[in-house]
Amino acid sequence: MMKSLGGGSGRRTVLITGVSKGLGKALALELAKRGHSIIGCSRSQDKLDSLRSLLSSSDAADSPHLLFSVDVRSNSSVEELARVVMEKKGVPDIIVNNAGTINKNNRMWKVPADEFDAVIDTNVKGIAKMLRHFLPPMIERKRGIIVNLSSGWGRSTAALVAPYCASKWAVEGLTKSVAEELPDGMAVVALNPGVINTDLLASCFGDSASYYQAPDAWAVKAATMILNLTVADNGASLTV
């Protein structure tokens, strides 16, 4: 089997956006439990504080995790995140661009302009900003993995969630294009997490979201998959 690219078989440094809830939180806790070092960001300071206490209780004192209040929609905010991360932890081995939002179920022409913008600014432009500020040092090191969270709705469509579908189709195209620009030794993939019981799913599925897999069960499989990505996966559209 080809060696994974996230920094060997030892401890990895994994940066996760949208880390304070849902899939991001579950993945952070699972990776920390396996001995990896987490760098996380989110807009919610309260939720970050809660996650910080969970991470500190689940890991040894010699493996500190860093959590930051960051809005991926803000270029200056992401730029500052990159500066501080490089200063304190160096170049991450793996970046998981997980931060995302969805529009309230509605026909496209009834979706308010600011709501459409929020979906695109977070799901697409947020990833672009992370790439803009984190790819240069990763490319200089010629090693690293970037995982862009996509969706089944990045490969299919549904009524009432057109803005979200548009954003995730964009993630797929962006990922495949960037994959062609990376040097040997790196990989970027689009990862469909599957249908998981999160706040985002509840927004469009309502109470029936509870019938689907919980984030912590998902994270066990997702963590293994992400840690075992190789250069051969560059540009791939994968599903957990």
- Catalytically active residues are 164
Residue with tokens 């075992």: 228
**Which residues on adjacent β-strands are paired with residue 149?**
191
Say whether 238 sits in a helix, a strand or coil. strand
**Which residues on adjacent β-strands are paired with residue 68?**
41
Pairing, β 13-17 against β 94-97 = parallel
Residues 178 and 188: their CA atoms lie apart, in Å, by 7
Q: How far is CA 75 from the centre of its chain?
A: 17
CB distance 133 to 81 below 8 Å: yes
Token pair in block for residue 213: 């897999």
Say whether 239 sits in a helix, a strand or coil. strand
CB distance 140 to 94 below 8 Å: no
